[in-house]
Amino acid sequence: MYLYHYYDKTIGAFRNLSDLPIEQAKSVLDTIKTTKPNSQTAQRHDNYVEYRRNCERILRTEFAKKGGQISRTAPHYMVVEHSPWLYSWYENCEYIKIQIEEFDINTISFTYGDSMPTFSDKINDGKEYRKKLYTYKEILDIIKKYGLPQDWNNDGKFGPERYIEVHIWSDEIIKKYVK
């Protein structure tokens, strides 16, 4: 299994708004909206930073309950296998592809779909993977049952899940890939 991280090559890989103070994160997002208005990132709503941090609090709490090893306040984000939709997000898209075996699996968690809709109170369709965070072993069972979302829902026609989101709670492997 490969994990992918998509990014704008003019900005760089693994740049996380949640690593910045709130006001600075909002300022960066405003700059993106002005300088890269056609990017998916520019379409985020005004309260995105607060929503993202609340979601990360939920992810951290749920992963801690499962015994996950957490050394970051906010995770680095990747996805399971290639996502054509995410590749279209950036004007100058690049990606980093890392074999999952490089990671200590005790430092990574997963949501079946993007974590924000997964934990949103607005989505109540009864699917078993809503409001759930998975360990590596658990996500393998979900993949076996449902497949990869990008294979059956790349266009989002069947719901918000278009990929499996991966949360990397350590800098150890990531720092090898950041330039």
Average pLDDT per consecutive 10 residues, the chain (179 residues; last block may be shorter) = 92 82 70 62 60 90 97 95 88 92 97 92 90 97 97 93 97 90
Residue 35 confidence (pLDDT): 64
Extract the tokens encoding 34.
């002005």
Q: pTM of the full predicted structure?
A: 0.88
Using CA atoms, how far apart are residues 161 and 147, in angstroms rounded to an integer?
11
Residue 123 confidence (pLDDT): 87
Residue 42 confidence (pLDDT): 47
CA-to-CA separations, 81 to 2, 85, 87, in angstroms, rounded = 5, 12, 12
Three-state DSSP string of 142-163: HHHHHCCHHHHCCCCCCCCCCC
Using CA atoms, how far apart are residues 24 and 17, in angstroms rounded to an integer?
8
Using CA atoms, how far apart are residues 165 and 45, in angstroms rounded to an integer?
20
Residue 41 confidence (pLDDT): 58
Backbone angles phi, psi at 17, to 5 degrees: -55, -30
Residue 145 confidence (pLDDT): 97
CA-to-CA separations, 32 to 52, 89, 92, 120, in angstroms, rounded = 17, 13, 13, 25
Three-class secondary structure of residue 169 per DSSP? coil
Q: Mean pLDDT, the chain, as a whole number?
A: 88
Using CA atoms, how far apart are residues 72 and 51, in angstroms rounded to an integer?
18
The DSSP element (H or E) to which 34 belongs, if any, is helix 22-35
| pLDDT, tens digit (0-9, with 9 covering 90-100), for 92-133 | 889 999 999 999 999 999 999 999 899 988 888 889 999 999
Using CA atoms, how far apart are residues 14 and 6, in angstroms rounded to an integer?
9
> Cα 62 to the chain's mean position, in Å?
15
Extract the tokens encoding 43.
């379409």
Backbone angles phi, psi at 99, to 5 degrees: -65, 135
